[in-house]
């Protein structure tokens, strides 16, 4: 049995979602294959794989993950692996899968929101803490609550660019939290990001690429204030703004990936290739995680 686990992007609202503000995410047409292979003991696992295997009562298995996307790129790799391992062993409902995968991620990381695990599980455009869409489920943790809904709409072409350095979600979330606890500046930024997300949902529903791009640019500028962008991200974003409808970092930042809505795709790809970065010319997809016998 092989599990196909999709990478995810956050179009609007990362970091703000940790504090309960709305965010819009989507799965992209880049899937990792996750297999569990019986193996001898003594394998070294990363903490989140170890915790997932203990949750399932498994030992002596080798977790094989095939993807071209580097880990730490803000495209959901750890959530995809946790969710993928559980799905290969259990026939849970999507809601139960999203909930259990988030619990494991949270226990390992000690912070964050269920946006990644829920998006990967549901597939398509997923709205967290918004009013629109088809309701999916609600997840609560430590007095926080996140509700999820599905936004059925056309897929959007997207160029995903890896900045070449990994970002640590834990470090970046902790960095933003310091700002958040210090005063009202961060809270005002979060509120503005929340409003951008709400406008973004309308733009995505209409398929208005120019508006989606404009809002991504605004969201990126707000995130920059937290010091989570890098020089390389800025270079990629400025090319994205010139040859696309808009661009922003996606995920926790501090490295990781940039998403661009292409306009003049040929020129965009040419300019990005001059920067010698790893890129994925892809689009959002309506598919969430699934399994199939090979």
By CB under 6 A, name the one of 36, 101, 122, 252 that touches ligand PMV. 252
H or E element at residue 279? strand 278-283
Strand, helix or coil for residue 95: helix
Contact 126, 102 (CB under 8 A): no
Q: Which is nearer to ligand PMV, 233 or 252 (CB)?
A: 252
Tell me the three state secondary structure of residue 29.
strand
Binders of ligand PMV among 147-186, rule CB under 6 A?
Answer: 169, 173
Which segments within 13-167 are labelled E, that is strand? 23-38, 61-66, 125-128, 134-141, 144-151, 157-162
Q: Min. distance of Cβ 200 from ligand PMV in angstroms?
A: 15
How many residues bind to ligand PMV according to rule CB under 6 A?
16
Q: Is 233 in the site for ligand PMV (CB under 6 A)?
A: no
Residues 70-99 that bind ligand PMV (CB under 6 A): 74, 76
Among 22, 112, 240, 262, binds ligand PMV (CB under 6 A): 112
| Ramachandran class of 172: left when φ > 0, alpha when ψ lies in -120 to 50, beta otherwise | alpha
Kindly tell me which of 84 and 268 has the beta carbon lying closer to ligand PMV. Answer: 84
Distance of alpha carbon 72 from alpha carbon 166, whole angstroms:
5
CB nearer to ligand PMV: pick between 110 and 135: 110
Instruction: Provide the minimum distance between the beta carbon of 29 and ligand PMV in the complex, in angstroms, as a whole number.
Output: 17
How far CA 22 is from CA of 40, 254, 256, in Å, comes to 45, 22, 22
Task: By CB under 6 A, name the one of 124, 251, 255, 262 that touches ligand PMV.
Answer: 251
Sign of the C-alpha dihedral computed for residues 251, 206, 145 and 191 taken in this order: positive
Any contact of residue 14 with ligand PMV (CB under 6 A)? Answer: yes
* Residues binding ligand PMV (CB under 6 A): 10, 14-15, 17-18, 74, 76, 112-113, 115-116, 169, 173, 251-252, 256
């Amino acid at each position: 049995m092989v599990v196909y686990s999709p990478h995810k992007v956050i179009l609007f609202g990362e970091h703000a979602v940790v504090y309960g503000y709305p965010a819009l995410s989507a799965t992209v047409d880049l899937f990792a294959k996750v297999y569990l292979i019986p193996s001898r003991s003594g394998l070294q696992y990363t903490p989140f794989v170890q915790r997932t295997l203990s949750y399932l009562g498994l030992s002596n298995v080798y977790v094989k993950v095939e993807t071209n996307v580097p880990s730490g790129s803000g495209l959901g790799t750890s959530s995809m692996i946790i969710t993928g391992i559980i799905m290969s062993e259990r026939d849970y409902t999507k809601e139960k899968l999203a909930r259990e995968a988030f619990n494991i991620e949270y226990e390992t990381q000690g912070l964050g929101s269920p946006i990644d695990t829920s998006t990967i599980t549901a597939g398509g455009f997923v709205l967290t803490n918004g009013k629109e869409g088809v309701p999916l489920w609600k997840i609560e943790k430590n007095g926080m609550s996140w509700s999820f809904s599905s936004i059925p709409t056309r897929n959007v072409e997207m160029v995903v660019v890896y900045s070449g350095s990994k970002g640590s979600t834990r470090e970046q979330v902790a960095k933003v939290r310091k700002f958040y606890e210090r005063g009202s500046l961060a809270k005002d930024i979060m509120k503005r990001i929340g409003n951008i997300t709400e406008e973004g949902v309308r733009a995505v529903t209409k398929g208005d690429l120019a508006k989606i791009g404009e809002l991504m640019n605004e969201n990126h500028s707000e995130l920059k204030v937290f010091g989570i962008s890098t020089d390389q991200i800025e270079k990629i974003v400025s090319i994205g703004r010139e040859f696309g409808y808009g661009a922003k970092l996606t995920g926790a930042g501090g490295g990781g990936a940039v998403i661009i809505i292409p306009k003049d795709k040929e020129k965009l790809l040419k300019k990005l290739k001059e920067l010698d970065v790893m890129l994925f010319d892809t689009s959002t997809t309506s598919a969430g995680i699934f399994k199939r016998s090979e």
